[in-house]
Every structure is written in structure tokens, then in C-alpha cells.
């Protein structure tokens, strides 16, 4: 990000920023004018709140999750049950951090997708944890890979160090993959089966950050449908990316014991997410402004995804592999294995010379003793770049790829 800010000619297809022209400037102005015109409401918004979050926003969030679940066929969705398990955080990033801090000790093991959200790997590293990467298929983790990994952990006697499986289930960052519900259920069952050797709960941690950013209606329910396993399920969501990234508000839905611990630690971190932002979001949601904005945002991203796909079709060699995204803001591109794309590769340096930046695929892979980190992929974002920048950025990348394929 600092690289992209420092060079004005550079086209960044790296940053996970959202689209500037779609940011809801007028909408936020209207909402806050209304909020602050009411002296009492304004005072409440500018005063401290509680550590777990604004009750009104918790209720709205629970209703929102209930609605998403019902639309995707979850007949177990119930607002009341969700509200009691929620906590509001300073972006969903904080939730990821708090959950990991609460559940894991240095030396513990977490399972992640191959590849996964690279910022989560930073959290993992900062806590001194070890990872095992699970092979990713077009509909989510490979269950055979999960089974093999669990068996291996059991056989080597380290299953008691396994604490959780972290999966980004909708339009995954970085690959765009959406996990099939049947796979979530099977994975959760498998984790529960292996608990007898672990001697403690193994949590299924569903990061649904991009759930609301699908180009079409979502059909996969979340793991929350598995009401009988509620004590093993952690679910993270966010309002930042779907609304405004400068307004950091995320949330988590947690088993009671984990929730209590998370709130206690959050009390030490910041004793509550900025109340003002929570009041803003509550108004955005209850007024309908949020949903109207979301609809236009999804259309915009779908257009830009199409723009990137067209550009790739005309600029990249046919040996380059990629998949059409159905939501989110990322495309995952695989070059022939002989072409290294890592931060220290000559390819990366050459792309920078051509004034185009991407996220090297390698940094999206956990350090796992069972395999080297693949080093021939790229994450490309159509989130922040304009259609023209996307076209030009892909053309530049295409030229670099061309050089390396010779």
C-alpha cells in the first residue's frame, strides 16, 4: 500500500481498498445531519458505549444475519438467538485478532485454506502459532485434505495443539471461492470427531466478510445453520467493506464462553468500538440507506470484474489460469509454475518497472512444514482501480507475462 501511494504513475491492482467513487459521501452526510440535529441522539452517539457494542446495532445485525440465512434456506435462523451471541468490533479484523488471542497459545496450531487471507497469517504469526494449509477446490476446502491433515496431527500426537479451522467462506480473499454448505457441515463434523483426541473444543471459524458482496443472490447458508453445533461455531462479518472502509465496524457471533473472554480482552484493548461509528451504521441500516448503497456497490463491482475479465482475455496468454469471480473484489491468477511471482522475484520487479502492482500469491500461503509455499500466482483486485486503470494495468501485466513466456 505504501508503495502504491508513493508512485503516482503506478496502477495498483494490489490494494484491498474499495471503490472511491462509490463511497457513500452524500448518504453519510444525510444520516449524520439527521443524527446530530437531534440533540439527545447526538449526545448518545458522542458518549462512550459499552464494550460489547451498541444494543441497537446488535439487534439490527442479528436481524440482518437472520435475513441472509433465511434467504439461503436456513430454517434455523432466529434473530433472538443471534443477538445474544454478538459482539461489535473495530472492523472484523479486530474480531479475528481477539478470537485468536483468546483461543490460542504460542505453539498452537490453526488450519487455514491454501491460499488464505494474508492478514490473518500476520495475526497467526504474531501469536507464535503454527499453520497447516488445506487444499482449496472451486467449492471450498478439499475434505480429503482436511481428513489427512487431522489424521496426521493425531498420529504425530499434536492434535491437542489444534484450536481452530479458519475459512473465508464467501468470495474468498484471495481466490474468490465460495464454500459449499455441505462442505462446511462435513468439515465441522470432522473437527468434532477428532475432538476426542484433542481433549478440547476445535472451533469452526467462518469469516463471512464478503458475504454481502456477491454479484447475485447468495444461496449458501452459513455454518450458523448447524444449530446443534452452536458451541463450536464462530462467525465474523463486517460493515466496512460493504459500506465505507473509513468507518471500521465489524462483528462476531460467538459461543457464550468465547464471547465472554473476547469481551474481557476487548475491554483491555479499547473498552468498546467508537460509539459514534456504531450509531452511524445503525442509522444506515435501519433507514435502508445501507441496502440501497450495497446494491449499487455490487453492480459496480460486477462491472469492474467483467472489465478485468475482458482485459485478461485480450492481454494474458492462454496458458495463464484464472476463474470468473461471483462476488468480492479479487481475481486469482496462476502462471506456469516456472514463473516466480514473489516479492523478491524478477517478475515482480519487472511489473513495477511497468508501473503495475499486484499481491504475490506466495504471501497468501501459510508456512506449513508439509509443503513449500507456491510462488507462481497473483491476487489482482478490481476494488479500487477505475475501469481504465484495470484495462491498462492488465495490459501492462500481460506484457510482463509475455516477456517471461518467451
Contact 182, 225 (CB under 8 A): no
CB atoms within 10 A of CB 371: 13
Sketch the per residue contact string, 58 through 87, with its own copies: x for CB under 8 A, - otherwise.
------------------------------
Residue 302 half-sphere exposure toward CB, CA atoms < 13 A: 13
Name the segment binding its own copies (CB under 8 A); options: 21-29, 109-117, 208-216, 307-315. 21-29
- CA gap 201, 256 in Å, rounded: 13
Applying CB under 8 A, among 75, 107, 271, 314 the residue interacting with its own copies is: 271
- CA gap 338, 91 in Å, rounded: 38
**Cell numbers at residue 194, please?**
477428532
Contact 284, 25 (CB under 8 A): no
**Cell numbers at residue 310, please?**
475482458
If one asks whether residue 94 binds its own copies (CB under 8 A), the answer comes out as yes
If one asks whether residue 28 binds its own copies (CB under 8 A), the answer comes out as yes
Sketch the per residue contact string, 227 through 266, with its own copies: x for CB under 8 A, - otherwise.
-----------------xxxxx---------------xx-
- CA gap 233, 229 in Å, rounded: 7
If one asks whether residue 91 binds its own copies (CB under 8 A), the answer comes out as yes
Cis peptide, bond prior to residue 370, ω within 30 of zero: no
In the bound complex, what is the minimum distance in angstroms from residue 196's beta carbon to its own copies?
30
Residue with cell 459500506: 243
Applying CB under 8 A, among 10, 11, 13, 45 the residue interacting with its own copies is: 45
If one asks whether residue 387 binds its own copies (CB under 8 A), the answer comes out as no
If one asks whether residue 56 binds its own copies (CB under 8 A), the answer comes out as no
If one asks whether residue 29 binds its own copies (CB under 8 A), the answer comes out as yes
**Cell numbers at residue 41, please?**
441522539
Where do contacts with its own copies occur on this chain (CB under 8 A)? 1-2, 16-18, 20-21, 23-26, 28-29, 32-33, 36-37, 39, 42-50, 90-91, 93-94, 97, 119, 122-123, 126, 244-248, 264-265, 267-277, 279
Amino acid at each position: 500500500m505504501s508503495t502504491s501511494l508513493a508512485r503516482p504513475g503506478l496502477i495498483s491492482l494490489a490494494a484491498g481498498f474499495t471503490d472511491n467513487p462509490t463511497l457513500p459521501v452524500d448518504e453519510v452526510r444525510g444520516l449524520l445531519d439527521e443524527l446530530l440535529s437531534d440533540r439527545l441522539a447526538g449526545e448518545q452517539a458522542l458518549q462512550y458505549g459499552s464494550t460489547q457494542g451498541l444494543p441497537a446495532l446488535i439487534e439490527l445485525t442479528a436481524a440482518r444475519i437472520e435475513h441472509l440465512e433465511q434467504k439461503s434456506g436456513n430454517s434455523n435462523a432466529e434473530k433472538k438467538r443471534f443477538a445474544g451471541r454478538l459482539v461489535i468490533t473495530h472492523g472484523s479484523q479486530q474480531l479475528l485478532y481477539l478470537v485468536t488471542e483468546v483461543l490460542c497459545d504460542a505453539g498452537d496450531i490453526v488450519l487455514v485454506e491454501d491460499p488464505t487471507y494474508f492478514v490473518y497469517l500476520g495475526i497467526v504469526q504474531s501469536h507464535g502459532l503454527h499453520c497447516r494449509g488445506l487444499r482449496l477446490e472451486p467449492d471450498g476446502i478439499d475434505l480429503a485434505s482436511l481428513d489427512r491433515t487431522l489424521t496426521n496431527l493425531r498420529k504425530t500426537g499434536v492434535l491437542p495443539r489444534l484450536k481452530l479451522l479458519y475459512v473465508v467462506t464467501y468470495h474468498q480473499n484471495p481466490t474468490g471461492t465460495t464454500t459449499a454448505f455441505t462442505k462446511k457441515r462435513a468439515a465441522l463434523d470432522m473437527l468434532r470427531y477428532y475432538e476426542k483426541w484433542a481433549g478440547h473444543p476445535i472451533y469452526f471459524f467462518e469469516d463471512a466478510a464478503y458475504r454481502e458482496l456477491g454479484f447475485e443472490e447468495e444461496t449458501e447458508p452459513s455454518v450458523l445453520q448447524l444449530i446443534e453445533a452452536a458451541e463450536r461455531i464462530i462467525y465474523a462479518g463486517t460493515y466496512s467493506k460493504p459500506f465505507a472502509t473509513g468507518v471500521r465496524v465489524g462483528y462476531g457471533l460467538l459461543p457464550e464462553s468465547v464471547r465472554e473472554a473476547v469481551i474481557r480482552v476487548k475491554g483491555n484493548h479499547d473498552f468498546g468500538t467508537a460509539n459514534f461509528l456504531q450509531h452511524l451504521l445503525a442509522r444506515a441500516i435501519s433507514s435502508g440507506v445501507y441496502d440501497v448503497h450495497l446494491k449499487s456497490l455490487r453492480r459496480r463491482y460486477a462491472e469492474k470484474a467483467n472489465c478485468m475479465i475482458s482485459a485478461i482475455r485480450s492481454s494474458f496468454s492462454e496458458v495463464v489460469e484464472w476463474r470468473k469471480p461471483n462476488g468480492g473484489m479479487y481475481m486469482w491468477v496462476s502462471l506456469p509454475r516456472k514463473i516466480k511471482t514473489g516479492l523478491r522475484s524478477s517478475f515482480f520487479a519487472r511489473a513495477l518497472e511497468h508501473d503495475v502492482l499486484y499481491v504475490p500469491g506466495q504471501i497468501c500461503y501459510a508456512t506449513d512444514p508439509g509443503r513449500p509455499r507456491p510462488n507462481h500466482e497473483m491476487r489482482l483486485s478490481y476494488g479500487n482501480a477505475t475501469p481504465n486503470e484495470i484495462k491498462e494495468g492488465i495490459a501492462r501485466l500481460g506484457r510482463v507475462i509475455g516477456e517471461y513466456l518467451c
